[in-house]
Amino acid sequence: MGATTSSVASTGGGCGAVTEHKGEYWLTIDPTGRIAWPDAVTDAFGSTLVFSRWLHGCLIAAPEDVWQRISSGAAPDVPAVEDLFFRRLTAGAQKVTVDTVGRCTVPRHLRDWAGIAEKGPVTVSAQGGWVEIWSQPRFTAYLEQTMRGLEPQLAAATRLGPGPADREGAT
């Protein structure tokens, strides 16, 4: 199934019981378009997920109750942006059942939109109550692009790198 890093805390298992879920999973889409979830995901999220388009070219998979919260109130308070966001988010949404061994089919129209190839590697990135599903090459490119722009700010803000007093010429 691939390398995994994760941490899950829940309040009793099943759909909607997730209080914290984080980490990344490196998985593969099988020839029929299915993904085999790690036990931590199926234990925390239950047997029904809603898949849809998400931000930055990835997909979202969320338990139904989390999906309801996202789709009913996560849009910006700007009418044009809200309309575009909700059309993009909800138009392609599809409910999917996870089978007894933890597999489900990622809808083809969503795989195509996110650039996820059959038999292709994917990165599943847990984001609290849901997961993002990325084409692995797209995820790698996205991380490289965003980190290049953020590294100087993050280093200064977290003091992981040279701060103003540490820079050349500072006294």
pLDDT in tens, 71-82: 876 555 656 666
How many domains does the chain contain in total?
Answer: 1
Nearest to 104 by CA among 3, 162, 36, 40: 36
Bridge partners (DSSP) of residue 72 are none
Residue 46 lies in a domain: yes
Residue 146 lies in a domain: no
Runs of H (alpha helix) within 46-133: 64-73, 79-91, 108-114
Asked, for residue 143, whether it belongs to a domain, the answer is: no
Residue identified by tokens 């998979």 is: 61
In the DSSP assignment, the letter for residue 16 is T
User: Which pLDDT score, from 0 to 100, does residue 155 have?
Assistant: 74
Band (pLDDT 50/70/90 cuts) for residue 84 is confident
pLDDT digit string, tens, across residues 10-54 = 223 333 333 455 678 899 999 999 999 988 888 888 899 999 999
Residue 166 domain flag: no
pLDDT, mean over the chain: 78
Q: How far apart are CA 145 and CA 132, in angstroms?
A: 18
Q: What's 104's domain CATH number?
A: 3.40.1550.20
Residue 87, domain extent: 4-136
